[in-house]
Structure 1
Amino acid sequence: MMLFELFTPDRTLETGEADRLARRLVDLVGGHTTTVRAIVHQPAGWAAGRSDAGDGRQWLVRISMPDSWRRAMPDDSLIADVTTALGELEDDPDRVLREPAVWVQFVDVPEGGFGTFGTALGIDRLADLATGKLEVTADGDIQAPAAAADIVRDPICGMSVDLSRTKLTLEINGTTYGFCARGCRDTFAADRTAEASS
């Protein structure tokens, strides 16, 4: 489970912008998994200490995910992706890179800290649900779906990736690799470049 919570002062977003922004955040991590959620909050109360963020929009993004997923994430790619996505809403998209208008906080959720179907899910079962290795039947049971030929394992984090539903791929020596997020793809590509140069 990955949960994006975006906070911005009341009446910051125009009609429909909150829904588009929530969808954009989900799409940052592939958008194909059933375990990613995005919620946009616009609280009436908003205060900050001294701010150098000028008169533009202010954003706080909290990203909750299993701590093992966070440890496997390369560098700060998701922070950059979120910041860029919020900049797309600005008249001056680079403002969010010059001023402290976007603050991103990660919340590492411990093993068993997420649950659904009335039970806590361990990281393996959560990953299987997220990647389609498990699905929910009409009766509410969890089972393995029919085998899919286009499922590959992300070589960085180990998640299963449906090649027919992602654009995050690399082809190397005739082998197609699929990735759950841009950061995993970038790390894999950097590792291959380093191997080739040594």
Structure 2
Amino acid sequence: MLLIEIAHPAGRFDNEDRAILGDAILDLFLAPDAHTTDTIDRARQATHIAFRELHGWRTGFGTPSADGAPPVIITLTVPAAWRDEGGDTFMGLLRTAVRRLDEARGWDRPRGGLWIRVDGVPDGQIGLDGRPSTADDVLSFLTEDFRSAQEKGTAAPAPAGRLVDPICGMIVPDGRGTITLDHDGVRLGFCADGCRAAYARREGLPL
């Protein structure tokens, strides 16, 4: 679940600008080499990017200049648990995406010209298909096809030196700093503490 709204002064982005920025966000957030194909396909279903033109935009110095990089405010909405664990990472990815647009346009963005807000929605206030849901419900939706492949034994094995997160299917390095858990003698790797905790809850394991 990635709901991304990008606000900018009316008339300052054209369709190509929106395509460059939107594609950059998708490339960064949905990198195909980081997750299994099943999970990436579900994540694409749950990712929505929209642009909002705002009229009468003013700063403390008045109307933004018509030259150079227009100011941008990005709001990313995710489950609260994701915000608490990955807010810094999300901001970094969005900042990189805006930088790609600026580089493509030859814009020198001034400091204070980009603001990013990561909103976390509490459990029960997330409306997956319009029904009250939790972060675990959203994760279950994203990984339903991956888990089905696991149960059927058709899930792709982890590449050498890597582990596949059993919750979300993300491919993580098997080394120092990796979030791991041993279960019945099997070393499991996780992309985040949230996936590790979700696995422990599912299997009734203490953390």
TM-score by length of 1: 0.64
What one-letter code is carried by the residue in structure 1 that aligns with 2:11?
R
Bigger radius of gyration: 2
- CA displacement at 1:162 relative to structure 2: 5.0
The residue number in structure 1 matching 2:169 is 161
Secondary structure class of the residue paired with 1:161? coil
- Contact kept? 1:62, 1:104, Cα under 8 Å: yes
Code of the aligned partner of 1:40: F
Looking at structure 2, the residues matched to 28 and 176 of structure 1 have their Cα atoms a distance apart, in angstroms, of 25
Report the secondary structure of 1:60's partner residue.
Answer: strand
What is the match of residue 23 of structure 2? 23
Query: Is 1:172 aligned to 2:175, yes or no?
Result: yes
Give, in whole Å, the separation in 1 of the partners of 2:23 and 2:175: 31
| Pairwise CA distance, 1:129 | 1.0
- 145 and 20 in structure 1: CA distance in 2 versus 1, 3 angstrom threshold: farther
Partner of 1:47: 58
Matched, 1:123 2:135: yes
2:70 is the alignment partner of 1:64: no
CA contact (8 A) 2:76 2:119 kept: yes
Q: Any residues of structure 2 matched to 1:77-92 within 5 Å, and which?
A: 77-91=89-103
> TM-score of the superposition, structure 2-length normalised?
0.62
Compare the two structures and name the one with the higher helix fraction.
2
Give the AA of the match of 1:49: G
Gaps of 5+ in 1: 136-143, 164-168, 185-198
Cα distance in 1 for partners of 2:107, 2:130 equals 44
Tell me, yes or no, if the aligned pair for 1:7 and 1:40 is still in contact at 8 Å: yes
Cα deviation, residue 57, structure 1: 1.4
1:125 to 1:8, Cα distance in 2 relative to 1, 3 A: same
Q: Are the aligned partners of 1:61 and 1:103 in contact in 2 as well (CA < 8 Å)?
A: yes
* Structure 2, gaps ≥5 residues long: 32-39, 158-163, 177-186, 196-207
Give SS of 1:49's match.
coil
Identity of aligned residues (%): 18
RMSD, aligned α-carbons: 3.4
Q: Can you list the C-alpha shifts for 1:55-102, whole angstroms capped at 9, x where unaligned?
A: 53110001111111111126x232222122112222577834x51111
